[in-house]
Homo-oligomer: A and B are copies of this chain.
């Protein structure tokens, strides 16, 4: 009924509270024999430490740092706003969150920031990663300094980080491919792609999944090499607009990065009769409007609020060295069509 405490363990092992504590936190200064007696008592009683009591006693605080790309796209704005709200709420749980910005797509700047982080001030880091060796190295160093690191939204594959919170981007790309393929059914032509930059893993993965599905399931369509819009609406508008104008065979567009407004603007410029199916990422005021007026056919979305919550939760469980290491639910890709907008 009432679970065992260190008192029970101490009594069962015939030692004092402090000794139990030493074993629990594997501090040294305990004879191997004593140690095993304590461990045995813990095992037979099924003791599990009361984290709340431990944290109270030790005045534990979790100091987290979130690193986001500096930029003006709607999705990152939303992410930042959600983070601000969650940070306020997290204070109640003794979690202090600091937000830092680095220039988007700039691996050097990100690495430098990581390198500047002081383990005396920061316990854990969540970052929207730029995928580059220099970043990987900086993460490894940070971890060596005892800081927990997870990636958020865009991953940094490899063992350097301790977790990723975000959608499965390959799967998102497959979903986009499957939808766009079906939307274009009955017509044959070319498909344009717009990415932000292939330097961020999420866009690269989306492209992979998208091409996979289109090649195998919809071989009648031809893929054009992706434009790099750098998540900038003007650049996207200009490049995509030019491509569409030059190539009347384009019947579908997949935009895997930000810059939805640019995509919409490029499409508005087309001659009235031309029918282009469009799938983009992230539900924003612009993509929403474009969905409603029929310019976009589907929007794939990730819930940034949930992502922020997941990252906080994951970092805390890592810092608690919780076992089993808490399974944070993966973030699902949400699909919006004109008729199911929330």
Contacts and interface: CB of A to CB of B under 8 A. Distances in A.
Interface of A: 2, 48, 50-53, 55-56, 59, 92, 168, 171-172, 174-175, 177-179, 182-183, 186, 213, 217, 303, 305-306, 309, 329, 332-335, 337-340, 342
B171 A340 contact: yes
A179 B297 CA distance: 11
Give the dominant DSSP class at A's interface. Answer: helix
B92 A340 contact: no
A309 B309 CA distance: 13
A340 B56 contact: no
A332 B334 contact: yes
Contact of A56 (B2, B56, B172, B332): B56
Nearest to A51: B92
A342 B179 contact: no
Contacts of A92: 48, 51
Contacts of A338: 178
The number of times this chain is found in the oligomer is: 2
Contacts of A337: 175, 178-179
Contact of A340 (B53, B178, B183, B303): B178
Given A51-B92, A92-B48, A339 B168 contact: no
B303 A339 contact: no
Given A182-B183, A303-B329, A329-B306, A339 B53 contact: no
Nearest to A309: B329
Contacts of A52: 52, 55-56
A179 B2 CA distance: 53
Contacts of A172: 340
B329 A332 contact: no
A306 B168 CA distance: 17
A141 B2 CA distance: 30
A329 B85 CA distance: 13
A337 B306 CA distance: 23
Given A179-B337, A182-B182, A334-B332, A342 B56 contact: no
B183 A186 contact: no
B303 A213 contact: no
B177 A342 contact: no
A314 to B, nearest CB: 14
Given A182-B182, A182-B183, A217-B339, 9 more contacts: A53-B56, A56-B56, A168-B342, A174-B339, A175-B337, A178-B338, A179-B337, A333-B334, A335-B335
